[in-house]
Chain A
Amino acid sequence: MAKVTLTIDGIGVMAEPETTVLQAALAADVYIPHLCYHPDLRPAGVCRVCMVEVEGRGLVPSCLTPVAEGMTVSTESPQVDKVRRVAVELLLANHPEDCLTCGKNNRCELQRIAAYIGIDRKQLGRFRRSKEPIPIDTSNPFFNRDMNRCILCGICVRTCEELQGTCAINYVNRGYKAVTAPFGNEPIAESNCEACGECVVRCPTGALSCKGFQEPTREVRTVCPYCGVGCGIRLGVRGGKIVSSQGDPQSLANHGRLCVKGRFGHDFVNHPRRLTKPLVRKQGELVETDWDEALGLVAEKFTQHKGKQFAAIASAKCTSEENYVAQKFTRAVMGTNSIDHCARL
């Protein structure tokens, strides 16, 4: 389809048809503050900080407004500033003021927007702060839910529903008391949450944050070792240790998404009790050895148990090719059809 031409802050912008003003602006490297928009999700239009002025229509949320040929958009005007500023000031007046010790410090969208629009300490000081503290939900082994920092952008709710299909969280309560929570406002560990962490990586604030997060010094692109899907991951490395794992958006296997294992399951790599050498049992004791000896022993034992004595179960951690080799080996070398796969059980 033909592209649509519109003007944003006086600059001519070509946009894909059926995109929104916000998407068109971001694609053209024009920043419009936004909190509840996420490229992977349907727009919700609830944070109201992405307001822009469209000629002939007045103030509109850019994340909900489809581009139109000849449209003239201003991302900055006294009206825009007034409405957006009130929304951001309200959010800040209901937010803890301890950015330096927050897990999302420096990676927080609220911080970024506050910096962008410029907040006056005295102005903000006029706002009443009446939010009651909410206990932090630490029940999940991998991430915390600190609803004191939640801005109710609803990204986590939409992620869990639209991407993960689990629907573990939703809005509860009304008005000022509204929060996102698992069913019955129980701890998340007691819900049907699968701990995939998809919501955690999308949360724009410190409301959802990984336990013990450390900023990596560099990232390594690789493939998740856990299963045959072969999700692309970016392992964050710091001081020779893996400190984080993110889905690789460029990987066609997972488009940036991961499951609980791929995202949170890499601490075994640096675990002190991890086996790094093969062990063989000698006189009832397991002793370290090298691979030659270990594999030699296996081969020797296999030769003694060909045919009916042998059966194999292949693993879902293996790729299709590896599984193929396993069945070929069982039939052709070991001489039996007794081969099965754990995914069939």
Chain B
Amino acid sequence: MIQVTNLTKYYSADKASLADVSVTFQPGEVTAIIGPSGAGKTTLLRSLNQLIRDDLGTILFNDQDVRQLNRRGLKQVRRKIGMVFQNYNLIEPLTAIENVLHGRLGEKGTLAGMLSLYSQDEKDQALGLLSEVGLGDFCYQRCHDLSGGQKQRVGIARALMQAPDVLLCDEPIASLDPKSAMVVMDILSRLARTKKMTVIVNLHQVDVARTYADHIVGINQGRVAFDAPVSALDDWAVTQIYR
């Protein structure tokens, strides 16, 4: 569970990118964050593992405030939080399996990680995860040569390699065709249900959010405009979020 209280972030003094945001993300659920462009969705998501430092508030994860952690503590927390990006952010000249194994870097010593000294267990696990996202046959392909949908699934496998409790996905389907998008969303909701992960997804498509999310958080100009189970998201609520 991640519990955010009164989170506030200013990039410039006159305009808050996040204003007094308080939300709770539950394990075993897919929470979709929706809202207009520039609302602060990315800022909120990246605050959760402190890739963006906030100005005020608390973020409780496993009963500790991640904003108060030192470097070591933060590194520990980051290992438990996987991330998936719109543009995949894979190291394209490397193969799929090498990219998936990057998910283990946080657990390894610096030197072992630099030299790619992975154990047999880790390699088997990476292969298993690639099969799980339907890419078993592509594990020795260079990511450069994969399609967008395939790249995104490698990205998910990399995040899963961290054995995370939380999955942060920033517009994971924005660059994908409808069919690949469905494949990716299916995988994400399956992870929430079967592995009891806390899955948080920034989305631009309200209908996708309706189909796949359990809980909806609407953000507008840095403020929480909606925070309820998906069943409460009627048309009026949508207009309020996107007003």
Do chains A and B stick together as partners? no
